[in-house]
Structures are given as C-alpha cells and as structure tokens.
C-alpha cells in the first residue's frame, strides 16, 4: 500500500524545509515576537504598578500634607502662647518697674520734704529764739529800768523759791 509507506524524498524535503523554517523563524520571528510580547506585558505591568505607586504616593503626600498642616497649626498655637506669655511677663515686669520707680520717687520726695521741713523748723526755731531773745532783752530793759521793779522781781522769785 502506497498510502501507508513513507516516501524517502518527502521525508527529506519535509525535514529540510521544516528545519530551514524553524531556524529562520526562530531567529527572525519567534524571538522578536515573543520578546516584544514579553516586553509589552512588562510595560503594561509596569504601568499598572507605577499607577498603583502613584496612588500610594498621593495618599502618602496627602497624609504628609495633613501632618505638616497639623504641625504648623501646633507651632502657631505654641507661638501664640509664647507671645502671650512674653506679653504678660513684659507687662508684669513693666508694672513692677514702674511701681518701684514710683515708690522711689515718693520716698525721695518724702525725704526731701522731711529735710525741707527740718530746715524750716530749725530756721523757725532760730527766728523764734532770736525774737524771744530780743523780746526778753526789751522786757528786761523795761523791767529793769527802775530799782523798784528790780526789787519786786527779786521778791517774787524769792517767794516762789521758798514755797518749793
């Protein structure tokens, strides 16, 4: 039977053609095609991955922004607080200083007044003394202008002494 007996020529041509086609396509078709398919799949996968990564980055950025905002807010709060404290302390300090100054001024004024007063009193006393002496002089002059008057005075004085 021809139909089930393989022909040598056909096997020869088949093997030859198949091998030529195989090696040609392996080098110039299958290699580039499979490589390109792999590359494309890789590109798509990379694109998906980078999209996912971008999404993650966005989230990260968002949370970062929130964090930065929170920090800024906290910083502002502390700054305000500090400013308030500084203001308070400055006011207090100023108040204390003013108080002291005022006290000092008062004290000085008082001392000055006291000094003036003392000086005025001394002068007054001196005036009074000199006046008194003048008056006494004049009285004495008048009292002792006659002998009678001198004797009367002595008598009065003696009387007082004896009573004691």
Partner 1 sequence: MTTGIKGFTHIRKLIAIISFLFILPVFSLAGDTVTQAKPAEAATKATEGKEKFNAGEMILEHVSDAHSWHVAGHFSIPLPVILYSKDRGLMIFSSSKLKDGNIFKGYEKDPNSKNGFKESGIHIVVANEDGTVNKEETAKLWDLSITKNAATILLTGLLLIFVFLSVAKGYKVRGTGAPKGIQSFFEPVVVFIRDDVAIPAIGHAKYAKFMPYLLTLFFFVLFLNLLGLIPFFPGGANVTGNIGITMTLACLTFIIMMANSNKSYWSHTLWMPGVPPVVKILILGPIETLGIILKPFTLLIRIFANILAGHIVALSFFSLIFIFGAMSAVAGYGVSVVSVIFTIIMLLLDTLVALIQAYVFTLLSAMYFGMATAEEEHH
Chain positions 41 to 100 lying near partner 1, rule: CB under 8 A, are 43
Nearer to partner 1, 38 or 104 (CB): 38
Q: Cβ of residue 55: shortest distance to partner 1, in angstroms?
A: 23
Task: Name, in order, each residue with C-beta under 8 angstroms of 153's C-beta and a sequence gap of 6 or more.
Answer: 143, 144
| DSSP code string of 49-93 | HHHHHHHHHHHHHHHHHHHHHHHHHHHHHHHHHHHHHHHHHHHHH
Ranges within 1-20 binding partner 1 (CB under 8 A): 1-15, 17-18, 20
> Is residue 31 within the footprint of partner 1 (CB under 8 A)?
yes
Which contacts (CB < 8 Å, 24+ apart) does range 96-102 have? none
Among 29, 48, 118, 135, binds partner 1 (CB under 8 A): 29
CB of 46: closest distance to partner 1 in angstroms?
Answer: 10
Residues 77 and 69: their CA atoms lie apart, in Å, by 12
Query: Is residue 24 involved in binding partner 1 (CB under 8 A)?
Result: yes
Please give the Cα distance from 63 to 55 (Å, whole number).
Answer: 12
Binding residues vs partner 1 (CB under 8 A): 1-15, 17-18, 20-22, 24-26, 28-37, 39-40, 43
């Amino acid at each position: 039977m021809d139909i089930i007996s393989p022909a040598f020529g056909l096997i020869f041509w088949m093997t030859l053609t198949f091998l030529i086609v195989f090696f040609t396509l392996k080098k110039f078709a299958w290699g580039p095609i499979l490589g390109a398919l792999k590359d494309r799949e890789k590109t798509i996968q990379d694109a998906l991955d980078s999209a996912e990564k971008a999404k993650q980055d966005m989230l990260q950025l968002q949370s970062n922004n929130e964090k930065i905002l929170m920090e800024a807010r906290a910083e502002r709060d502390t700054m305000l607080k500090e400013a308030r404290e500084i203001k308070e302390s400055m006011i207090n300090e100023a108040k204390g200083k003013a108080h002291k100054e005022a006290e000092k001024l008062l004290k000085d004024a008082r001392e000055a007044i006291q000094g003036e007063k003392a000086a005025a009193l001394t002068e007054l006393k001196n005036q009074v003394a000199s006046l008194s002496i003048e008056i006494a002089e004049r009285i004495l002059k008048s009292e002792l202008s006659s002998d009678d008057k001198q004797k009367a005075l002595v008598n009065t004085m003696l009387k007082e002494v004896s009573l004691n």
